[in-house]
Amino acid sequence: MGTNLVFAVVITEMLVDCMSLLMTFPGYIFIIVVNILDWRRNKRLNISDQLISGLGLLTLLHKIAQVTFRYDVLLGGLHVHTSFTWFCIRLTFNSLNFCILLLSTLLAIHFCLKIVNINQNFYIYIQRMFPKMFPWILLPSVLVSLLISVPAAQSTSQLNSISFGLFNTSSFSMDIFISVPLYYTFYAFCFAIFFILLLTTIVSLSRHIHRLRNNSGNLGSETVQAHVGAVKTLLCLFFLNLLQFCLPIFIIFEKTEHWIIYVYILLLIIWHILDLPILFRGSRKLQKKLDEMWLYFTRLFS
């Protein structure tokens, strides 16, 4: 990829990232503050709110890291980064992407256990015990994501160092052919679990709605609407994580075709547009708080 084209893409990415960060920063802070205040008031926070807060915090950190990296590239160029710097950059983005997918998968598990009813003893046991097991699932999962991200970050940083003459190709390890596929294998495994849970939840909810229609049930009940909203949130999160998975692929392989670059920038813009509304849609509490604030400011300035 030519130098001028590289910096044109970096400048475009920088503008998109900066605008997105400025526009969405208050929203992410709103999510975190509302849930912190709720936790202080009630001394507890339900699982979905914990996961949505975590997703909001991780996505905000991801955006800040993106803006910082683009700004650094514009100031000094790509060639000034040492091998260790590239390692830190790759580790940051790999671990953040993986943690976002893990929290999304845990949210899918939580919604699936709430919506899908299976008359099987082991499944009923998991339904009852999941809230208690959640902290013991979350912390090891985050730790595993970091451990998997380290070798992949080291290998991809070696690739960047070779590209800019910072690494001796004669000492280039074959570990890259193991660590990077291993990272994406675990990534794909989480995707598979997410997809299976999403499909199971959609099928179960569709059958439930079909039974309600046949029995003249209330489709507008609060429970049904909450379940439909949960499924829509999972669908959006799945495609959002798919975009997050695709974006690094464009960067790693550095294709020279202009249309691929345009597709990459388009996907980047779509990712920035979708991320915040999806998190608000996943929590009725956040929607109510947002409606209350909207009504307050509407009355204040009317």
Highest-scoring range by mean pLDDT, 76-80, 100-104, 215-219, 253-257:
100-104
pLDDT in tens, 33-46: 989 998 888 888 88
Q: Which residues have CB under 8 Å from 7's CB, separation 6+?
A: 74
Q: Which two tokens stand for residue 8?
A: 């044109």
280 in Cβ contact with 286 (< 8 Å): yes
Find the helix or strand (DSSP H, E) in which 91 lies.
helix 83-115
CA angle 278/280/110 to nearest 5° reads: 75
Question: Is pTM beyond 0.85 here?
Answer: no
CA 168 to chain centre: 35
Averaged over 70-85, what is the pLDDT? 68
**What span, in angstroms and rounded, lies between the C-alpha atoms of 82 and 251?**
18
pLDDT in tens, 232-276: 888 888 888 887 777 656 655 555 556 666 676 677 677 767 778
155 in Cβ contact with 180 (< 8 Å): yes
The pLDDT > 70 percentage for the chain reads 76
Reported as a pLDDT band with limits 50, 70 and 90, residue 200 is: very high
Instruction: Please give the span between the terminal C-alpha atoms of the chain, in angstroms, as a whole number.
Output: 54
Question: Structural domain tally of the chain?
Answer: 1
CATH of the domain at 238: 1.20.1070.10
Averaged over 138-159, what is the pLDDT? 77
Find the helix or strand (DSSP H, E) in which 96 lies.
helix 83-115
What range does the domain containing 75 cover? Answer: 3-301
pLDDT for position 157: 62
